[in-house]
Structure 1
Amino acid sequence: MTAAAEVLAAARARGIRIATAESCTGGLIAGALTEVPGSSDAFDRGFVTYSNAAKVQMLDIRPDTLEAHGAVSEQIAAQMAEGALRHSEAGIAVSVTGIAGPGGSEHKPEGRVCFGISQPFGTRTQTVEFGAIGRHRVRAATVEHALQLLADALRA
């Protein structure tokens, strides 16, 4: 069983649906989940909010948080996941915002991705440094990690 299929089965077992809020992956997490036949009973919706304006408009990200911390931050990952939960019929939401590359800076290097997991009782965040392994590999690793975070949260 694929990681996405395991996540969907865990969501079904808990009787909840999943939402995603994605920046650097551009919808790849939603794509992985909906690749699984029958996913519609456990996957509600995905938000692809690549631009800062999309994050503000679709997920209610606070502009002052963007200004203070930047788009690639745990603060924004938390607000993205919380916004996805609020604007969906889901019981759990995962968010990702990061620098897939090429590029980055001394303060926000290529391969840094911030994750958020939000459920009605709270939100957790995490930052992972995948390193400068190339855009495709950063995005693939981000999808894999997001699915693992969902699986862990759904089993907890």
Structure 2
Amino acid sequence: MNHLAGEVLRLLGARSETLAVAESLTGGLVAAEITAVPGASRVFRGSVTTYATDLKRQVLGVDGALLEARGAVDPQVAAQMAAGVRIALGADWGLATTGVAGPEPQDGQPVGTVFVAVHGPSEGVSGEPGGGKVAALRLNGDRGEIRRESVRSVLALLLEELAGEQIGNARAQDTEQNGGT
């Protein structure tokens, strides 16, 4: 898994961009994976572990009505956590994990239900600054396996977003260099 964190940090460093992480079910494992890479401090701003639902609202700015209606295990909650940590810690990119690692269901969701999110600096669909993406996961395994796969998945989601932006930027440059056609 460390290769994913290393590649994320390499790409962010090359772009002079920073990263912050909001974690729930992973309880700091994403931050630990990132900081295990030498030189992570050039890119990594920090993390917030909001295990308690009320802290998601108080610290990360997740909508209280959303939390009341749907609970903490929800794709919109994950998206708001990623956006919130990005703002709170002054980073270019925010990551978030929320879900049920077990052993019991939570908020009406079965064990293995996980949402991971990324929020970055590009313009979102609504035209507002910052764009985001959420992935819904249905994971099998014990508590440790679910948490480890959540870490891998959120790093892979960010890597996918960074690679997609890199491809888009390369196409834009190519179009400019070839007279805009």
On whether the aligned pair clears a TM of 0.5, the verdict is yes
Q: 2:132 matched to 1:123? A: yes
The Cα offsets for residues 62-83 of structure 1, whole Å up to 9 and x where unpaired, read as: 1101011110000100110010
- Judge which range, 93-102 or 122-131, deviates more: 122-131
Highest RCO, 1 vs 2 (Cα 8 Å, sep ≥ 6): 1
Aligned length: 155
State the alpha-carbon separation in 1 of the partners of residues 155 and 52 from structure 2.
Answer: 23
Q: 2-side partners of 1:136 and 1:8: how far apart?
A: 24
Q: Which residue of 1 aligns with 2:104?
A: 103
Structure 1 segments, 4+ long, off by >3 Å, are none
Aligned positions of 1:1-150 closer than 5 A: 2-104=3-105, 107-120=108-121, 121=123, 122-131=131-140, 133-150=141-158
Q: Give the drift of 1:38.
A: 0.7
| Rg larger for | 2
Confirm or deny: 8 A CA contact 1:69 1:75 kept in the other structure.
no
Mapped contact 1:117–1:149 kept (Cα < 8 A) = yes
Which residue type is aligned with residue 128 of structure 1?
L
Deviation of 1:89 (Å): 2.2
Q: Alignment partner of 1:126: what SS? A: strand
Q: Matched residue of 1:2: which SS?
A: helix
Give the TM-score normalised by the residue count of structure 2.
0.82
Equivalent-residue separation in structure 1 for 2:143 and 2:99 (angstroms) = 11
The 1:98/1:106 distance shift into structure 2, 3 A limit, reads: closer
Tell me by how many angstroms 1:85 deviates. Answer: 1.0
Segments of structure 2 that go 5 or more residues without pairing to the other structure are: 124-130, 165-181
Identity %: 37
Q: Within 1, Cα distance between the matches of 2:133 and 2:20?
A: 15
Cα distance per residue 1:1-47 (max 9 Å; x no partner): 71111110011112101110100000100110001111000111111
Counterpart-to-counterpart distance in 2, 1:45 and 1:6: 18
Specify the SS of the correspondent of 2:145: helix
